[in-house]
Amino acid sequence: MNSESSLKIRHSLYLLLTSLIWGTCFVAQSIATKTMGPFTYNACRFFLGAAFMLPLAIPAARKDPRSILYRGGHPAYPQKERQKLFLHSSAVIGFCMFAAGTLQQAGLMYTTAGKSGFVTALYIILVPLFGLIIFRRKCSPLVWVSIAVAVLGFYLLCMKGDLSINKGDLITLMCSFVYAFHILSVDYYVSKVNELLLSFMQLLISAVLSLIPALIFETSSWNDILANLGPIAYAGVLSGGVAYTLQLIGQRGLNPTAASLLMSLESVISALAGWVILGETLTGRELFGCVLVFCGVILAQLPAPEQLKKWKQHAAET
């Protein structure tokens, strides 16, 4: 196994761990949002995640030639360019993270959780489509097959009612678009800036943007926050600090379509976590949907024929 394939396997495992953390975080979120407004909850967990990341990000950023904090020799870019890249990437990725979460929450006011999960998961189609349109990045036929299998799996897992489209579904579809842009933005910027510092900034920006509507529209008290410190800490440190950082690291050098499929396992894991931890029921149809999503993700990780040929040539030369 060459170094490129080893790197892809390692980064795929990072994204798989990300999905596991995000999926189990739904349990904590379902507990906390019973007594807290969603914006207040997000502001608390994102501020906590940013506080967790700051002491880890600064030392790492000082040693990274791509970072704005780097003062050693041979930087990756001139200081002004590093500042520009960092500000642009932080603003774009931080806003996308906030906007996607807000749109998803708004959509849930008018549609079911099942339809929301299905429509949100459509970003696995949008990522390769946008990648093709914007970056002229083509996908192999095997990847499109894996996407189709995963979409069918999400349909069986999430959809329980009719196929009618309402206002909530359209809002959630906008959320899916934003998630796709977030994944592609991470793919574009993550090789140019320090991942840990970028993770801190996207959490901080999301926290500040969540705090504004929390103060205007919600009435959660300090007692509500203190009563939910456990779920907030879990979501802030693990889902915010650890998982979002693993996403940035994992996406570096990995095809964004394959990355989106791996991260889409979040929905499957959340359903399984609700089944195991909260005692929620899963029908045979829903379990089969989970299996199909897993199959689609595995298919997407298989090397394309041209990649196999390249590896064989490399092995023969060495």
pLDDT tens for each residue of 128-137: 888 888 878 8
**Which one, of 39, 49, 17, lies nearest residue 235 by Cα?**
49
Q: What distance, in Å, lies between the first and last C-alpha atoms of the chain?
A: 12
SS3 assignment, position 15: helix
Of the listed ranges 144-153, 191-200, 223-232, 291-300, the one predicted with least confidence: 291-300
Instruction: Supply the pLDDT for residue 317.
Output: 56
233 neighbors 43 (Cβ within 8 angstroms): no
pLDDT tens for each residue of 202-224: 999 999 999 999 999 888 788 88
Tokens at 238, concatenated: 């693990």
pTM, to two decimals: 0.84
Residue scoring higher pLDDT (215 or 124): 215
Angle, nearest 10°, between helix axes 167-189 and 256-277?
130
304 neighbors 142 (Cβ within 8 angstroms): yes
Q: How far apart are CA 123 and CA 127, in angstroms?
A: 6
Confidence of residue 65 (pLDDT cuts 50, 70, 90): very high
Alpha helices in 228-304 (DSSP H): 229-233, 244-251, 256-277, 284-301
Tokens at 2, concatenated: 């060459």
